[in-house]
Structure 1
Amino acid sequence: MEQQLEEIREQQKASWNKFSPGWKKWDDLTMDFLKPMGDEIIRALDVQAGDVVLDVAAGTGEPGLTIASRLSTGRVVITDLADDMLVVARENAARRGIHNVEMQACDVCELPFADNTFDAISCRFGFMFFPDMALAAREMYRVLKPGGRMATAVWNVPEKNFWVTAVMGAINRNLNLPAPPPGAPGMFRCAKDGLIAGLLTEAGFRNVSQQEVAGTLNARTADTYWEMMNDIAAPVVAGLSKADDDTRDKIKAEVYQAVQQKYPHGDILIDSSALVVCGER
């Protein structure tokens, strides 16, 4: 792997390890938020008893744990770049009594598995952070058995994801932050229509399809939303770290105002949109 890509990978690993306590704290809320995308991935994969499934960039364990819970036989290998995220995944598996899972920290661009190992592959919200997305797609293709299916979810355009833009918009208005390089890892890197489908096709996948899936962040209050985003969202924390106290207070006030204007009745249920893309080897 090129040095620049290795640096990005190490930065990603450090960031996800750092934020693993926040993801553990908010696991119930975030997993409820992301469940519709996981459900669509599971539907698209159509796993069968006895299947061996790979879940890439699984974080705290989903959708791999749900897949494993539905397999009467077979198993799921849950992977993530960050060891500390997998610690949470192990705790979640133990709490739910799910035993047909294995956890392994690894890089999707260098999967430590033999060719033709898995019957299905899931990857929920990983692609936009991979240093080399094309290489990641090729690696998934390599370890998938002929006839196997893979499915991934990525975030749709910013206009359909107020849960991100409410905070990041206020940060960008108040801080003169440099724009990330084109194609750099980020939330909306994969939002362009057909981008992931094209990557999968180039990697060799057949019968590639794309489905838009809606979700709802049940924050309920502006306080919960603000606290959660400060605990789990690396770009938010990075941006706010560059603000003095007055600017930070101004950003927070603008976020609260934007949320309360959009949800004037006080029940903060924030819509989101993702793209689920699947293909067959």
Structure 2
Amino acid sequence: METALEQIREQQKQTWDRFSPGWKKWDSWTMNFLRPMGYEIVSALHITASDQVLDVATGTGEPGLTLARLANHGHVIGFDLSEGMLAVARENATRQGIANYEAVAGDVCESPFENHRFDAISCRMGFMFFPDMLLAAQEMHRVLKPCGRLATCVWATPAQNPWITTMMGAIAAHMALPAPPPGAPGMFRCAQPGMLIGLLQAAGFENVHQKEVVSIVGFATPEEYWQNMTEVAAPVVAAMSQADEATRAAIKKSVFASLEQNRVDGEIRLQFASLVLSAEKG
């Protein structure tokens, strides 16, 4: 891997290790939030009891732990850059009594697994952060068995995801943030129509299908939203670390005003949308 991409990988590892306590705090909430995409991934993989499964970018363990319950005579490896996140995944596996889930640290672009190892691969909200997405897809293809299945998801367009753009829009209105380089890792890097479909096909996958999943996430109060965003949302934390107290207060005031426009039956409700893709190895 090129030096610049290696630097991105190390920065990401440090970032996710640093955020892992916040993700542990919000784990139940986050897993409920991401469950619609996890459900689609699990459904697309058609897991059997004896399957060998790789869950890439497993984070705190899902959907790998759910897959491990289905492959109860097989084995699931949760694979992630961050040891901090994997520590939470191991705790979750132990607490849930799941013995066939193994958390392994590493980079999907330099996968340590042998050819044709896995029956299925899941990857929830990982692709857009990989330094080299094509190489990651090629490595997934390499380690899948013939006729193996892949299911993944990424965020749809910013306009379809006010759950995060409400915050990021307020930040952009009060701070002059440098634009990321074109194609740099980020939440909406894979939102362009057909982009990830073409990438998976270029990596050798066949029968690539995509569906859109749209739902609503709720917050009890604007303060709950604020705490969530400032503790687990990587782009928010990065931007807010550069804000002085006055700017931070102004951003918070703007966010709270926007959130009140989305209050329904006493709850703040915001849309989110993702793209779920499934594919096969020939």
- Regarding TM over 0.5, the answer is yes
Find the counterpart in structure 1 of residue 50 from structure 2.
Answer: 50
Q: Within 5 A, what are the aligned runs for 1:1-281?
A: 1-263=1-263, 265-281=265-281
For the aligned residue pairs, the C-alpha RMSD in angstroms reads 0.9
Number of aligned residue pairs: 281
Query: Per-residue CA shift, 1:14-69, capped at 9, x if unaligned?
Result: 00000000000000110000001000001111111100000000100000000101
The worse-fitting range, judged by mean Cα deviation, of 141-150 and 217-226 is: 217-226
Shift of residue 245, structure 1, vs aligned partner:
0.8
Tell me if structure 1 keeps the 8 A contact 2:52–2:71.
Answer: no
- Taking the aligned partners of 2:15 and 2:216, their CA distance within structure 1 comes to 25
Tell me if structure 1 keeps the 8 A contact 2:141–2:203.
Answer: yes
- Taking the aligned partners of 2:253 and 2:114, their CA distance within structure 1 comes to 52
TM-score using structure 2 length? 0.98
* Matching residue's letter, 1:231: E
Tell me if structure 1 keeps the 8 A contact 2:72–2:100.
Answer: no
Listed as ranges, the gaps of 5+ residues in structure 2 are none
The worse-fitting range, judged by mean Cα deviation, of 186-195 and 210-219 is: 210-219
Q: What is the SS of the residue equivalent to 2:276?
A: strand
- Taking the aligned partners of 1:92 and 1:208, their CA distance within structure 2 comes to 32
Query: Per-residue CA shift, 1:212-239, capped at 9, x if unaligned?
Result: 0123323221111110111101211111
Shift of residue 269, structure 1, vs aligned partner:
2.6
Q: What is the SS of the residue equivalent to 2:210?
A: strand
Tell me if structure 2 keeps the 8 A contact 1:33–1:215.
Answer: no
Distance 1:264-1:119 versus aligned 2 partners, 3 A rule: closer
TM-score using structure 1 length? 0.98
- Taking the aligned partners of 1:58 and 1:245, their CA distance within structure 2 comes to 35
- Taking the aligned partners of 2:90 and 2:219, their CA distance within structure 1 comes to 26
Q: What is the SS of the residue equivalent to 2:131?
A: coil
Q: What is the SS of the residue equivalent to 1:253?
A: helix
- Taking the aligned partners of 1:265 and 1:77, their CA distance within structure 2 comes to 42
Shift of residue 268, structure 1, vs aligned partner:
1.5
Percent sequence identity over aligned pairs: 57
- Taking the aligned partners of 2:180 and 2:222, their CA distance within structure 1 comes to 28
- Taking the aligned partners of 1:53 and 1:268, their CA distance within structure 2 comes to 37
- Taking the aligned partners of 2:125 and 2:142, their CA distance within structure 1 comes to 20
- Taking the aligned partners of 2:218 and 2:63, their CA distance within structure 1 comes to 19
Tell me if structure 2 keeps the 8 A contact 1:55–1:121.
Answer: yes
* Matching residue's letter, 1:255: V
* Matching residue's letter, 2:205: F
The worse-fitting range, judged by mean Cα deviation, of 109-118 and 269-278 is: 269-278
